[in-house]
Amino acid sequence: MTTILDAMTDPQLFGDTFTGPSWETWRAVLAASFALPMTDVQAEIFKRVAGGRERPAKRVSELIAIAGRRSAKTQTAAATAVYLATIGAELDGTLERLSTGERGVIAILAVDRQQAKVAMQYVTGMIEASPIFSGMVERMGKESIDLTNRVSIEVQTSSYRAIRGRTLIAAIFDEAAFWRSEATQSPDLEIYRAAVPALATTGGMLIAISSPYSRRGLIYGKHRKHFGKAGDVLVVQGSTADFNPTLDPAIIENALEDDPEAAKSEWLGQFRSDIASFIQREAVEQCTRVSPIELPHDRKVTYMAFVDPAGGGQDEYTMAICHKQDEQVVIDVLKARRGTPADITREYSQVLKAYGIKRVQGDRYGGTWPGDEFRKHGIEYQTSRKTKSDLYVELLPKINGGLVELPPDQKLLGQLINLERRTSRAGKDSIDHPPGGNDDRANVIAGAVEVARRQKLFRSRTVAVLGGF
């Protein structure tokens, strides 16, 4: 029987990639995951990274490996996928559980397209370099490899749609702590819930390999529930030095001096304590109207607007139009476009005029350019006095108090509930989107609410002054 440890050191399978003492921690983790015998050194390593728990008596159903950056996580995940798709599928009877004509799938889900490409490069390279694995290839594409044993390896970005309706032999979550979606606050949990039934037919294994991030989500939840505890869910946690002792220690030492909290997460494998969720989903949903996406102009209403200009690229150029209804701020229109900024400014100016708006506020993006461009179309542009983070701080009590009516825009919903509160070493909080995320729509909503609030203050002061005459 060729175990995963045997395969990783077999020149005909994985060559010499996984040989040498630097891979000892990964070998200990995989030995425990597949309930294989360990050396005394591996047993000691396993105790350390598994929180002191006993070794599993049988192959685990889930492996959650939490490690610092540069720990060869994706490379190890790719090797595990190749093994499970070939030798592993033969040994554990997986193929016998497939119906006639059915194809089993090893799904590797990555945080984004670039990371998915990296994972696929590892998989392809390992298969092509092996005379045994390469002889099993039936078809090789950019995102999938079909093998002659009716097993496919597919690499995709993180989406529950990628695994629904599939018969999974294994699901591998790459950097799952960093999965983000504007459609949901918890894409990692939704994908996990989709993967569990897809693995049921084959009794397949779920493997999540990630650096840690904030204290929420699938990875943190699994760690809190299972780390150091016996069971068929194995959670291991270690620093970069544990999993990759070849890395220069000076890199980690310098990072700890520059930003201790970030370095603890990135290099020491610890969850960050300085990041927390900002707005709860329930509060945002409570403020969201069922329909329509845009409210028509009402000549009896006084409208205000806020814009968040963008210079092209991935950022959206956004605009929100709102009005006050008693104590509530109603977001009538939310626009979000990518394209030529001058063309979008012209289009937005027409919408502003249709709602009787001659003055708009926005952030400090682009210096004088937004003001100059809006002025061409008869719109006065005023720069907001507050930073984006300050606008979010003002928005939170309005959302929690139900004092904002939001349009039913799913990207807006996702951006609001994905906002994070970060606390600096000086104790100052800042609010922003998570790494790899966006908040253009959320930002323009926060700005519109502030514009409405300041108009109320301006009117109050004006009445007070007039009353003194």
Q: How do residues 149-170 score in pLDDT, each as one tens digit? A: 999 999 988 877 777 778 899 9
Tell whether the torsion through CA atoms of 437, 443, 444 and 446 is positive or negative: positive
pLDDT in tens, 250-265: 999 999 888 888 889 9
Q: What is the pLDDT of residue 182?
A: 60
Looking at residue 399, its amino acid is: I
What would the DSSP string read from start to end of 62-125?
A: EEEEEE-TTS-HHHHHHHHHHHHHTHHHHHTTTGGGSPTT--EEEEEEESSHHHHHHHHHHHHH
CA 382 and chain centroid, separation: 34
Q: What is the pLDDT of residue 101?
A: 82
Q: What is the pLDDT of residue 459?
A: 42
- List the domains of the chain with CATH numbers: 4-273 (3.40.50.300), 281-465 (3.30.420.240)
All residue ranges of the chain with pLDDT < 70 are 181-185, 311-312, 366, 456-469
Cis check: omega of the bond before 260, within 30 degrees of 0? no
Closest CA to 381 of 469, 290, 447: 447
Element (H, E) at 144: strand 144-147
Q: What is the pLDDT of residue 77?
A: 94
Cβ–Cβ under 8 Å, residues 180 and 436:
yes
Cβ–Cβ under 8 Å, residues 171 and 199:
yes
Total Cβ atoms within 10 A of residue 427: 6
Alpha-carbon span 265 to 381, nearest angstrom: 42
The DSSP call for residue 146 is E
